[in-house]
Structures are given as C-alpha cells and as structure tokens.
C-alpha cells in the first residue's frame, strides 16, 4: 500500500465511519486511477450477493477519493468535496469481493474544473466509476457521479 493509499484509507475511516464497518480498503492509487475494495461478508444481502446500497457507497467513494487525492497532489486543500448527483446501474451481481475503480476524467474537463474552482471557489466534475467482481473486468456496477468542490 502506497503512502497515498494509507492516507486515503485513514481519511475515509475517520471522516466516514461507515467505511470501517463495510470493511472498505484502498487497494491502490496508480496512474491517476483509484481502486477500492469491499468484502462480501459485511455487505451481503438476502440473496447472498452484495447489497446495492454498499455498492452505491463504494462507487460514490471511489470518485470522492479520486478527487481528494488528485487535489492533494496539486496542493489544493481549501475545499470541501460533496456528491451532488449520481446515476447507477447494476448489470451483474457481485458474488464475492468487489473492486471499485475510478480512472481520471477527460483532461479538458479536469482543466475546466480547476479553472472554475480557482476563479469562483466552486466547481463541478463528473467522474465515472466501475465496480467489478474481484478478478474480473466485467462491470457489475456502472456509476456516474457529479461532484462539487466548494470553499
């Protein structure tokens, strides 16, 4: 686990206590892609698959964590990140450990986001997260979230 991964996991577990109860772990932050992991046992539903609410939480937090780490790399620490809106679909069940992956957004969208935040103290960014069963790249969950950073 890298320093960034350890840092983000500590932030999540202290600022959002639910992440501890869910067993959420930060797998890695590499090449501007964040990966989180959720075990099945604390997130299981009545069908012995992962609860949709846990999957939603994992997807939202992958985007939130991505934005948190990316801003930290740039030394921007004067803002608050909130999820404003999210769209989710569940094409496949998660039958074991889930891995949530949030890659970097389009570079132009990122540059517009930063410029707007510097100018207005408030900016919105859409991030896409995919959650898969561990060991598979096939999307079990597709999430698109609009995050707002404000001073």
pLDDT in tens, 54-96: 999 999 999 999 999 999 999 999 999 999 999 999 999 999 9
How large is the average pLDDT for residues 97-105?
98
63/42 Cα distance (integer angstroms): 22
Output the pLDDT for position 23. Answer: 98
pTM of this prediction? 0.96
Output the pLDDT for position 108. Answer: 97
């Amino acid at each position: 686990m890298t320093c960034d991964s350890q840092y983000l996991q500590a932030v999540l577990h202290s600022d959002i206590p639910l992440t501890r109860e869910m067993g959420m772990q930060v797998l890695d932050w590499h090449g501007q892609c964040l990966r989180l992991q959720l075990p099945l046992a604390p997130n299981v539903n009545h069908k012995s698959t992962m609860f949709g609410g846990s999957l939603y939480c994992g997807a939202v937090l992958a985007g939130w964590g991505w934005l948190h780490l990316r801003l930290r790399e740039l030394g921007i620490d004067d803002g608050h990140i909130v999820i404003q809106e999210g769209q989710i679909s569940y094409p496949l069940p998660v039958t074991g450990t889930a891995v949530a992956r949030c890659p970097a957004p389009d570079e132009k969208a990122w540059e517009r986001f930063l410029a707007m935040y510097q100018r207005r103290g408030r900016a919105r960014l859409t991030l896409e997260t995919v959650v898969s069963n561990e060991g598979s790249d096939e999307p079990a969950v597709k999430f698109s979230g609009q995050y707002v950073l404000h001073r």
